[in-house]
Structure 1
């Protein structure tokens, strides 16, 4: 495929409005609001939500006969609230994971286990991870870090301090690189998973957290990072991991869909916060935005019968 220079000029808000209108998107009753949102949210960000309103083939850039700007904005609002809800759940899970990793490793290998290369599989990966952690500790302005530096000789603080200021991404790589054995298994078993599965779930949660934190579209997304599907679990999990593609009549696995992430969160919350109301909050969100089809997130037809969602 021959590449070409990008030559499209920037459009004024009015020109953006007129382009969408000429392609068949209705603005009836919301012209002023639409211009305001094009300015404050941007044409490009909103385009991910009106894309679903395009008629096939979508490359023609023509909207369906009943497509209205408010429909796209409703999808945008749903997606925003879904991301906030997911971030809230990930925060609880992340805090619990930090606490368990610090506790189990400290009791197995001592206070400064993070600095000991012998506790890790790859020495080169450990060197990179510790270098990054030193940077995160040195950037921190937390009072407990400052007090530690003023009082103690060891450069890297005890794990319960260092892990408090490292990123979730750093934490996931540290766990991934831990040498196999009882300690690593003890950590993953606290969350009802095998350690090899838990590694992939951690990386996926980091990816989802970053997606939400950067305000990227999530609700109907095909995920780039896929978590391993657990074969055996100690807590309630889903039975059906497939949907039927109505176009090809082929079964499609849901592990690249947002629904699978919601299942992951619900599963982990069983140990982190057994009395959680995550399902109820999700139900309220879908009630608030009836335009949103659960299947767009990858929900299976029989999701309500799954033990996880009972």
Structure 2
């Protein structure tokens, strides 16, 4: 057996060679019992140790830790904080993620449908692949690179519409392509549309799609990109509670007072879309959200960016 004698640099070796990093030793793993004791030593009230261990074994200490940041001061829990306080915050957040996911779904599907319809009828079935119809060629190249990877995954998964079109035409018309595009790819294509993508003697494609949402293109571009970010957080079970969002939605002038980097502006964006496209659905959605929040009355809504009159704001008719 031959032995590879070539030296391999470790992470620490690489850092030392670069001369720019100094790492601390990684902490040892703790048992679930030790994790409970660590939380108790920092001032958390835990009445049922067995139940605490069970929750940690299902949820992960490091995930839970993100939910107690608002209960912590200088490395210790605020006096009187209980494990139930943290668990209620976690459960509210889980319910909110499901609510957001459910609310974004129809918007994503409508955006795919509208983009495919208007791009296909105005510019042709393969127009989405043509640089001519997009403002930033480099961004379009990146979108196409992502799309090709998505198409290959669909081929490996034997998605029927993909197999059929690839075998018959060697390509995917846009009405088939949008069915396998990620929301990110789709929203970036929309946001990159040039005025050259237009109907003969008619509106541009970006205007036609925005009209389907009864909103100006500049808002729809921002909203689709923002909702893609939120959808991905929800899809990966990432924390919404007390998160500072890295995607900021452009707000209508009437809503600028609600602008910010927490979750509430997202709900305002959803409200504005639903009241334009599916106004009959919004009252039930707000009722569902209200029921969820009432279920956990002890959870502070300020870390979500909710104002005191949040119910009135999201339920009011405009």
What is the TM-score when the length of structure 2 is the normalising length? Answer: 0.84
Alpha-carbon spacing, 1:156–1:127, altered in 2? closer, same or farther (3 Å):
farther
CA distance in 2, matches of 1:196, 1:159: 23
Greater Rg by CA:
2
Report the CA distance between 1:142 and its aligned residue: 1.2
Q: Within 5 Å, which residues of 2 pair with 1:1-310?
A: 3-28=22-47, 30-54=48-72, 58=73, 60-140=74-154, 141-152=158-169, 155-180=170-195, 182-231=204-253, 239=255, 241-242=257-258, 254-276=259-281, 277-306=284-313, 309-310=316-317
Alpha-carbon spacing, 1:208–1:6, altered in 2? closer, same or farther (3 Å):
farther
Structure 1 gaps, min length 5 = 232-237, 243-253
Report the CA distance between 1:182 and its aligned residue: 2.3
Report the CA distance between 1:22 and its aligned residue: 1.1
Instruction: Say if 1:133 and 1:166, in contact at 8 Å, map to a contact too.
Output: yes
CA distance in 1, matches of 2:171, 2:21: 52
CA distance in 1, matches of 2:145, 2:27: 43
Question: What RMSD in Å do the two structures reach over aligned CA positions?
Answer: 2.0
Question: Aligned pairs, how many?
Answer: 286
Instruction: Say if 2:116 and 2:175, in contact at 8 Å, map to a contact too.
Output: yes
After superposing the two structures, state which structure 1 stretch, 43-52 or 119-128, moved more.
119-128
CA distance in 2, matches of 1:68, 1:305: 31
Instruction: Say if 1:84 and 1:212, in contact at 8 Å, map to a contact too.
Output: yes
Report the CA distance between 1:183 and its aligned residue: 1.8
CA distance in 2, matches of 1:50, 1:92: 33
Report the CA distance between 1:12 and its aligned residue: 1.3
Cα deviations across residues 63-88 of structure 1 (Å, max 9, x unaligned)?
A: 12211001101111110111011111
Report the CA distance between 1:203 and its aligned residue: 1.4
Structure 2 gaps, min length 5 = 1-19, 196-202
